[in-house]
Amino acid sequence: MTTVYFIRHAEPDFEVHDDLLRPLTVKGHADAKLVTAYLKDKEIDEVLSSPYLRAIDTVKDFADESGLNIKVIYEFRERKVDSAWIEDFTSFSKKQWEDFDYKLADGESLREVQERNIKALNDVLLLHKGKNIVIGTHGTALSTIINYYQNTYGYEDFEKMKRLMPWIVKMQFNIDVCEKISKINITE
């Protein structure tokens, strides 16, 4: 059995519009310690992350305390919405969940995000068979992964999850078959 702990990043500073370099807030850094506390007895073998700073920084404290390096996997990045900042993100998100192929001119559809993330996940599962793995990730990317294995997971679930930062989703795999998904809110 391979166990993957997807860690949705802690609270980011939305004043920074550069998606790649958006840092965690002070609260986000404090909440990253909750991630460390949760993971400390899970016998983690590998720590992987999206290349985005907020995802890396959410798992960094755990990796440092465990003596593990963070391996950046570019394909686990968050979806590209567009080259410009989207003011009405809620309407945009709803439209994407209604039509998995909908995207803006310079962005990605949810289907593209899902395919990219599932391919990366399958590569990880093949390479780290039987291991316990942490993956620093993002809300939309993680939601598309959950949707792949539980097709009833949709926009309403995404809306509920949007405010959960950090958030952990534990998935257990037999080869590449997802046997169990557990959603864990560590901030309650």
Total domains in the chain come to: 1
Q: How many helices (H) and strands (E) does the chain have?
A: 6, 6
> In the predicted model, what is the mean pLDDT of residues 85-107?
91
pLDDT of res. 17: 83
CATH code of the domain in which 76 resides: 3.40.50.1240
Q: Which domain holds residue 159?
A: 2-184
d(CA 30, CA 34) in angstroms, rounded, equals: 7
Neighbours of 103 (CB within 10 A): 21
Q: CB-based contacts of 73: which residues, under 8 Å, 6+ apart?
A: 48, 49, 50, 51, 120, 124, 135
**Residue 85: pLDDT above 80?**
no
pLDDT of res. 22: 94
**What is the band of 6 on the pLDDT scale with cuts at 50, 70, 90?**
very high
Q: Exposure of 143 by Cβ count < 10 A (0-12 exposed, 13-18 middle, 19+ buried)?
A: buried
Q: What is the pLDDT of residues 150-182, one digit of tens each?
A: 999 999 999 999 889 999 999 999 988 999 999
- By the 8 A CB rule, do 166 and 187 touch? yes
pLDDT of res. 57: 98
